[in-house]
Amino acid sequence: LLASAMVAQSLIALLFLLCLVQATSPISTALPGCRTTCGNLTLPYPFGMEEGCYIPGFKMTCNDTFYDPPKLFMGSGNIEITQVTLDNVFMEGLVARDCYGELPTSTHVWTNIENTPYTLSYARNRFTAIGCDTLALLYRATLVDFTSGCISLCADDDSVANGTCAGSGCCQTAIPMGMKRIAAETAGVLAYLHSATARPIIHRDIKSTNILLDHNYTAKVSDFGASRLVPLGRAHLTTLVQGTLGYLDPEYFHAGVLTEKSDVYSFGVVLAELLTGKPAVSSQMSREEQLLAMHFISSMERGQLFEILERRVATEADGTQLEEVAQLAERCLRLTGEERPSMKEVAEELERLRRFERHPWAQPSSDEGSGRLLGRTGYQSDMDSVDNISMPID
């Protein structure tokens, strides 16, 4: 997380406002003998401050040594709790501050939610900056660099009320979407190009840098300069090889035969990037690991998937679903096009996984939530509303 000053005026604070959606059955009172208040806040069970007064992951700490009135914090960390109800817990955590004109001496405070039941949600969290003339950027150091940001004008710390930014002296932006949504929306676009247009279109240069996010964080496939129309009645084209090293279909690379399955292979590399956080090609890696596709396949064959997963992906996502996505990527990366699935099959599988992620309690045959991922006919996406600020329980 980075905040940088635009105009040298005053000290600014970059804040992260969060709330927790309670997944347990609410109980209105604390356990007998347990402390229930901290400052002006009342703490209901399953939250608690003393041993035996809370369930794992719901410990709170009341700091009455350095604060008057006392302040409540999540766990033993630095995320302040500002409001508690039976439905939600609102949190406020400083992540960085900069003195204008003194960016090299900026102070960064890392908000740590590891080893807790909480994860950041693109649908229910907001990134908030408070201060005057401030450029705030939110980024994640993985292969697909999820970045968003906002600009605040006119210092007014009272502009944020109940987690909502009024637009004066503050600004807010959404948390970029998760891996499976980006993958599913991209697959939906490619499936549409391959099977729903009057003449199939092969993109020919699918790679992570050609997958963009719009202002609603909907995935968009870009750069159609290398794409080719497939003549009616034909399944392939013989053409000069064009594309990006690391993403090229081996069959196309060696024989110049371009098919829809060439895009499938490239998309398999993108899936591997999303899973591992590694680039498609890296000269810094060992010879075996320089090409991600080969390294990914060999790791899968040795049963070492969870050893190569990007750490945050491994901790935030369901293990069974990760295995299914990895198996899908492995099928996309098979050397011969005949062994690869179609983009339509890939899109349908990712849609199923996304639907399960939103409704894990639903039966696999349930239609509830269908269209939430790739939308209705034509793979048109509909966005989750972002009208709350929350930190959902995993």
Task: Give residue limits of the domains in the chain.
Answer: 2-174, 179-358
Residues in the chain, overall count: 394
The domain 179-358 is placed in CATH, from the list 3.20.20.120, 3.30.56.10, 3.30.70.330, 1.10.510.10, at 1.10.510.10
pLDDT (tens digit, 9 = 90+) per residue, 257-269?
Answer: 889 999 999 999 9
Give, as one character, the DSSP assignment of residue 364: T
Convert the pLDDT of each residue in 200-225 to its tens digit.
888 888 988 888 766 555 777 888 87
Gap between the Cα atoms of 321 and 344, Å rounded: 19
> What are φ and ψ of residue 181, in 5° steps?
-70, -45
By CB atoms closer than 10 A (0-12, 13-18, 19+), residue 238 is exposed
The whole-angstrom separation of Cα 394 and Cα 92 is 20
Show the tokens assigned to 289: 């690991």
Alpha-carbon distance of 325 to 271, in angstroms, equals: 8
Distance CA 154, CA 110 (A): 26
What pLDDT does 174 receive?
64
pLDDT at position 366 over 60: no
Tokens of 23: 């997944």
CA dist., res. 129 & res. 43, Å (int): 28
Instruction: Give the other-Cβ count within 10 Å of 383's Cβ.
Output: 16
Q: Please confirm, yes or no, whether 205 is among the known catalytic residues.
A: yes
Strand partners, 92: 17, 80
Q: Which of 64, 87, 98, 205 is catalytic?
A: 205
| Mean pLDDT over each residue of the chain, to the nearest integer | 70
pLDDT of residue 57 exceeding 70, the answer is: yes
Answer whether residue 298 shows pLDDT above 60: yes
Q: For residue 56, what are its two tokens?
A: 């794992």
- 161-185 mean pLDDT: 65
pLDDT (tens digit per residue) in 102-150:
555 555 555 556 556 565 655 556 777 776 667 777 665 443 444 567 7
* Position 6 pLDDT exceeds 90: no
Q: Which two tokens stand for residue 257?
A: 């035969």
